[in-house]
Amino acid sequence: MIASIIVEGEQDRLFIDSVLRSASLQQPFEVVVAGGRSSAISLARSYLTLPDHSVGLVVDSETTFRRQLLEQESNLADLVSAIAPRWRSRVFLAIPELESCLFEPQIASLAFKQSLSAETMISGRFEPKKTAMELLGVTEAGYTRALKLLLASPELLAKLSTALPFRDIIEFVEAAATAEHTATRATVA
């Protein structure tokens, strides 16, 4: 079974694909750009109609409020799992954006090659992409290139692989083959 990870944009694909490839996974996977949140949800549902795909949907939560996070996660899981058994799909919320992982204490100084102030760390947790672009000294136009250079560090990728949501995405990809085997055995029994 192929683990298809559906993401909103190219920068999300770059992040996730880099971390997954650095994890040397044996399970086949693909990271697919949908072109926005609504498109990602729709594409995830379409992929679930394919019998040989497990689907992970990765979207930015755009919020840090717990109640809204729980509501989003529940609604998205219901939308995606309405198409196929729950064991074939999983929703991963990047809170509030995927770049927020760069502002984890054990990752920030490695990513930005400097010790960050408490104010910058807080800014990075609430406006991660904007703060990362400021620290990297780039605009939106140069951000993808800067991200590629940043993600070329094996040490950084190793740290990212232990951070959320990457750790959970890696586990999802690794479990895709096991889930298929377990479901097939249960159907036969």
Q: How would DSSP label each residue in 120-136?
A: HHHHHHHSHHHHHHHHH
Quick one: pLDDT at residue 9?
96
Quick one: pLDDT at residue 180?
56
Domain total of the chain: 1
DSSP 3-state assignment of 55? strand
Cβ within 8 Å of residue 87, ≥6 positions away: 54, 179, 182, 183
pLDDT less than 50: residues of the chain: 181-189
Quick one: pLDDT at residue 81?
78
Quick one: pLDDT at residue 78?
84
Name the pTM for this structure. Answer: 0.89
Cβ 55 vs Cβ 168: under 8 Å: no
Task: Please give the C-alpha separations between residue 183 and each of 48, 96, 175, 188, in angstroms, as whole numbers.
Answer: 15, 33, 12, 9
Quick one: pLDDT at residue 42?
95
Domain that residue 16 falls in = 2-188
Quick one: pLDDT at residue 184?
39
Query: Rounded to the nearest 5°, which phi and psi values hold at 5?
Result: -105, 115
Quick one: pLDDT at residue 74?
87
